[in-house]
Amino acid sequence: MVLLSIVLALVGLLTSTLATVTLPMRDPPPLQGPPNLLKGSDEKLSRQQIKRDIKNTGDVAACDKEYRTGTWVNHECTEKFVTDPLYIRPKVRWEGLECAAAWNDAKIRWNFCDRPNNTSFSASVSNFLKYVEVRACRDLALHNNCVLSASCEARHSMLDAKEDWTGAGAYLVWNSLTQVLALIKNYQSSLRQAAVEVQNKKNKFVDTFAPQGHRPDDAIWLNVLLTLILIPSTTLGTLFWKGALKDLDFFKDKSLALDLSKDTSQALVSAGYIITKTFIEKETAKEVTFDYLYDNLVSKWTDQIDQLINTLFSGTDESLQQLSKIISDGKMIAGATDRSEGTTDHTEAFLQEKLAERAFYAAAIPSVWKMRNPYASYPVVLDLGPDCNRDIGSDKYFRSKENYKQGWICLDGHNYILASTYERNNDGPNCLPEFYPWCLNLPGNLFPLPGLDKIINPNETFGGVTVEDLVAGAVNTWKRSGKMNIMDNTLEVINPSNKDDFDDIWDHGIRAPGNIRIPVCSVEEADFLAKDGTTNGLPDENRPSFPCLRDPNKGYESTYWGTWPN
């Protein structure tokens, strides 16, 4: 009896002691998925259920704040995936801490709990991952609260509410999102600096390529503006991300680098392209002048990036898909690499290479030629056939060899000349000495273009654009169009969401098909149309491509010069 009393006393003492002791953390029990989430259903369908719940009961029945995927909340900040980033690849770190599950749960919290209550996406994610003080990821101000300094902190002790549980991987997810923002902000800063450089060279540009000034023509300048608006989300965006991503540790893994770098770049560029198309819609009704184009270049480029951030971090289904593609597998985090070289200052290199100016001038130079005073120059790429070592017989079309040699280029064993003509019906009797042979109907209907001597070789003043760039870009556009000259914007310039278009930009830059639009045709065709003008029987569909036909297989009857082709 005494023994029994002692045992009972010891048991009571042990019980009361255990009641006051904080037990060590145990693996959390499996948590159930959100109510009303039907097996096999997707999040979109489930949100429809949520809306019905709110409408019928005023309650978000599908919101379970304790829901977690996998076991990512069990991981500690003392694990090697956190403490040894120099020795573990980004993808392995991401997988080791189950960051994909953490990101998935952040999206579930947003979709099922916070989105129906009109909470912002960035606030929802920062609250879920427990980085509440660093959530301003939609603010592109130079100083905001969306920073890259989040450090590892796991919250899953018995003292933490179960709905607040996080694991070590939370900080990698958060830092991935802020790394995306940092990259885009660097891009915006680069665009701003490049646009200012272009604006500062406005007079030099006009003096070189339209030495007697430029004429007003709203239609032409609007087309130029629409082309220039696209630059940040097509050619330039592709080239920037191509360089920026290669400096991230993830893409230094040789087994992953190229394909994933292209996929991630395309996701970023495509997101911007969708934004840009909305900007274009706003511009089509405006009266555009040369000064308007130049004076608004900075805002036209940088405003797109503001909107890109707002859209990318808006929490829509599309933006979540884009973000997931960009940050998945640890693409934005540090880790071991295959390369020993240090990271370069990509933004500085981007500016030094003048890639933005290069894209601008490739689009602007052909257009300003058409705006020359006193008469417009209509640029054309003349196709003079193969064999670059022969006499191409071009002398009879020009007044002298001096007139065309600056525009002659041999590409892939083929002869091309970048030249121009005038619209004789606009010249009338007001001929200057420069145009006497033209006015007297003497041989030689083709003329050199001003400024070619300044861009035979790369010229830093104009972004390094060369005659060869303009010819190659025009020929590539012409070939992609089935050797038709589509100059009237019925053909989409280039769409980076299309893999073939994106690959072309990635490989060829400004020379990619669709970037440079100068008509291409035989020298005989250009000579005939130049002699005939645009009002002597030329069908209207051919006017944008003058002095070439839109479709070389469709001839026409001239009032004065017979049939072409004859």
> What pLDDT digit, counting tens, does each position of 148-204 carry?
568 999 999 889 999 999 999 999 999 999 899 888 888 888 889 888 998 899 889
pLDDT computed for residue 512 by the predictor:
93
pLDDT computed for residue 361 by the predictor:
92
Reported as half-sphere exposure (CB side, CA atoms, 13 A), residue 138 has a value of 15
Q: What percent of the chain lies above the pLDDT cut of 90?
A: 35
DSSP 117: G
pLDDT computed for residue 38 by the predictor:
29
pLDDT computed for residue 340 by the predictor:
59
24-38, 42-56, 309-323, 402-416: the lowest-pLDDT one: 24-38
pLDDT computed for residue 495 by the predictor:
86
What the block records as the tokens of 457 is 């070789």
**Average pLDDT over the chain, rounded to an integer:** 79
Looking at the predicted structure, is the pLDDT value of residue 20 above 70? no
pLDDT computed for residue 452 by the predictor:
94
Mean pLDDT (whole number) for 487-506:
80
- Model confidence over 279-321: pLDDT tens digits? 776 766 556 677 777 888 888 888 888 888 888 999 999 999 9
State how far the Cα of 86 lies from the Cα of 425, in Å rounded to an integer: 71
More confident residue, 110 or 235: 110
pLDDT computed for residue 74 by the predictor:
96
State how far the Cα of 213 lies from the Cα of 211, in Å rounded to an integer: 6
pLDDT band of 442, cuts 50, 70, 90: low
Looking at the predicted structure, is the pLDDT value of residue 2 above 80? no
Looking at the predicted structure, is the pLDDT value of residue 25 above 60? no
pLDDT computed for residue 56 by the predictor:
40
- Model confidence over 357-407: pLDDT tens digits? 999 999 889 988 887 777 788 999 999 999 999 888 888 888 666 668 889
3-state secondary structure of 87: coil
- The four Cα atoms 492, 494, 497, 499 give a dihedral, to 10 degrees, of 120
161-175, 241-255, 425-439: the lowest-pLDDT one: 425-439
Instruction: Judge if the upstream peptide bond of residue 565 is cis by omega within 30 degrees of 0.
Output: yes
pLDDT computed for residue 261 by the predictor:
85
The residue to which tokens 């693996």 are assigned: 27
More confident residue, 134 or 157: 157
pLDDT band of 230, cuts 50, 70, 90: confident
